[in-house]
Amino acid sequence: MTMTKHDPIHRREGALYVEGVSASSLAETHNTPLYVYSLAALTGAWNAWMAGASQRTNSCQVKVHVAVKANSNLGVLSIFARLGAGFDIVSGGELRRVLAAGGRACDVVFSGVGKSHSEMKEALAAGVKCFNVESVPELSRLNDAAKEMGMKAPIALRVNPDVDAHTHAYNTTGKKGNKFGIDYSDARAAYSAAAGMENLEIIGVDCHIGSGITDTAPFLAAVDRVLDLVEVLERDGIPIAHIDLGGGLGIDYGDGDAPPPTPEFVKTILDHVDRRGPRNVWFEPGRSLTAAAGVLLTKVEYLKPGPRDGKNFCIVDAAMNDLARPAVYGAFHRIEAVHDRGGKGEVYDVVGPVCESGDWLGRARQLDVEVGDLVAVRDTGAYSFVMSSNYNTRPRAAEVIIDGETVHVVRKRETVEQLLAMESVLP
């Protein structure tokens, strides 16, 4: 099999390749565990969003903001900055990452429930284009921060539309009882309060209902709730320049629950908005831009047979500290041998060396592998490295981006010495 522009992660004669580079050569040069991202896959995902947006026939703006929390590597962010993306941040640290990667503060939306006073002032000084405010107390704090700086803070209120995204409970953000946003029934009063604060400028309405969503119906329900609110606000004399519909579109993890193609999804949402009247629309996709572009390479350390009629364990050198999603969400990732041996193999639980029973990457996977073989965990370009830790004093993995046959190391592997350097013993 040869690579096509539609299949940057593929197989040639049974061996896994990322664009023009074999996975085995990457592991040999850069060791494991190793995060590998395809530039072509990242660019292709972005182009899919743009293809959907380009089908809009009116002159209203469509702006796509990369969710930095999904993959905050500077190399990855720099790709999207060069493509003209906006960015969605949730901390002052993420703002600094965007700027270091070549992004512009005027393309940044600042979300998050717990913005500190100092983070607000840093973002105001940088010139972010909008704060997505999530509570009335945050409105007051932001007004005070802007007053101290002699500025007006551009804001949208994140409204909780009480729409069930039908995803994992930890990924649902738009229902009653979630910590995010302002309750829909309180939104009108919150906007009235914001309108009375001298150092705030209302420019939009924001919502985000969850992550990993594979059905358009929850999005459409949220759109209707948001547009209903916009009509009320504008009757109250509060003009709304844009609606921010967040993100949350899932990807096909190979578990039988695939979303619609991105261009089709984007067009469906925009058409639904336009039936109520053209509006500037912002999106903040996370995983759908980066997840499928990533592969975590790991090496088989042991094959541990279970007792009669029990489980077999494939113990690899990647662990829950490298990829937390299975342990945290029960997330499914495709796992495959880097080299196809051609046999049936055995059924294994794929687990890591961390001292926790929750340290697993996949359950009941059919693999034909031997000790020393490489295994690829697919679709790890989002919420993967960013959630990694140093638990068990394990240095975090290196990250590389593949551009054709060129390998760019965009994060060096940590060392134990670096981990210890931040600490000291008592005198």
Cα separation of 298 and 315, whole Å? Answer: 10
Task: Give CA–CA dist 292/370, Å, rounded.
Answer: 26
How far is CA 394 from its chain centroid?
Answer: 24
Q: Give the burial class of 214: count Cβ atoms within 10 A of its Cβ; 0-12 exposed, 13-18 middle, 19 or more buried.
A: buried
Provide the terminal-to-terminal Cα distance of the chain, rounded to the nearest Å: 62
Distance CA 251, CA 333 (A): 11
Compute CA distances 96 → 87, 218, 401, whole Å.
12, 33, 21
- Which structure tokens are listed for 224? 């209707």
DSSP string, 149-174: TT--EEEEEEEE------S-GGGB-S
User: How far is the C-alpha of 334 from the C-alpha of 352, rounded, in Å?
Assistant: 16
| 3-state secondary structure (DSSP) of residue 5 | coil
Are the C-beta atoms of residues 240 and 278 closer than 8 Å to each other? no
314 catalytically annotated: no
Task: Write out the catalytic residue numbers.
Answer: 355
